Structure 1
Amino acid sequence: MVGIRQHKTLINTWCLIEMVGIRYHKTHISTRCKWSIRVVVVVIPEMENRLRTAENQVKLLKAENQERKVVFSVTLGVGGYYGPTSTTLVYKDILTNIGNHYNPTNGHFTAPVRGVYYFRIALFGIVERNSGIHCNLRTNGNITLKAGLWEYIAKSQHHVANAASLLLEQGDVVDVQLGGTTIYDDSHKRNTFSGFLLFPV
């Protein structure tokens, strides 16, 4: 009888251990399932949102970087004497025009963004034909600065230049106006108009 009782007690103990193990296993499986569901429902959408945000930021940075690539350098592209005239100089020979903000059909540079830009103009002339050489750098039709030579020696050659850093608004137009005098150019590209964006503001 004692042996039978011990055997039944042992069986009950093993059954209890197995039941506890099954409950633990079920609890463990349930916990893992809950975590997996949370990953699918919460974590993955959060990661997708972060990825979309990062992609949008990259696109924005690329667009801003593209806007900052503004450089041009142009020459007249004509040989011989040019002038006398007081019209806008149209530089048709393009050396560089990154961003395509200089227009070779009308001689205008249009600022793509608000920022500080650097401009330089250079003129060459044989002053025997007039009283000197000079031109105006204009912003929206208003004279910003001048470059020129007003005193001269007859039949002398002169090269004049000027430069400035300007704060421009988006859409501002910058060009060069010849100051009623005559300039000279040849294959050496002596008359130039250049500019680039230093930084946006």
Structure 2
Amino acid sequence: MKEIELKVLDMSSVLKPSDSFALVLEEVGGRERKLALIIGAMEAQGIRMAKMHYKPPRPFTHELMLSIMQAGRIWLEKGVIYEVKDGIYYTYLYVRRFDGELEIVDARTSDAIVLSLRAGFPLYVYEDLLEREQLRNISSNGLKYTVTINSVDMEMLKKAMEEAVASEDYERASLLRDEIRRREQEEKGEH
């Protein structure tokens, strides 16, 4: 599968009504497609500190991990976002061992982003995933856009459904209700 390089473009302030943030990644060169990940406050803080090249007085987890890898002569070659399901993005880290062997390790996408910013290795996404999940209907100022339903977690779906009912947008509410039911049935093992 073709890999498209990404860079961190922006991070929103707090999304209402939750304490989540929208992290926007942008395609490097090319068509400049954008991908939004919904992340928590702790993940947002780690990414902000890495973007600012902030060095904490004592090593945080990402700095500790990179120091251990350096001491063990292991380095990160790249990260690849390979899937999104029910609001969760999945990423592999490609790790080169001191003996030259390449290992592929599953990682939280937010951790892969922080490590990429700290260690300087590239972050990619499979092109078909980017094409399917890219932001749509981006306003001229870039502050408003549409994300796919697949990139939103259950909590946000439920809140969006409540808002749709409150604003009497019943068509949208029914679509959201159906997606919530589908995920709940899938979680229970029903198909």
Question: 1 or 2 for the larger relative contact order (CA 8 Å, sep ≥6)?
Answer: 1
Confirm or deny a common fold (TM above 0.5). Answer: no
In the superposition, the TM-score normalised over structure 1's length comes to: 0.23
Find the structure with the greater CA-based Rg: 1
Richer in strand (by share)? 1
In the superposition, the TM-score normalised over structure 2's length comes to: 0.24
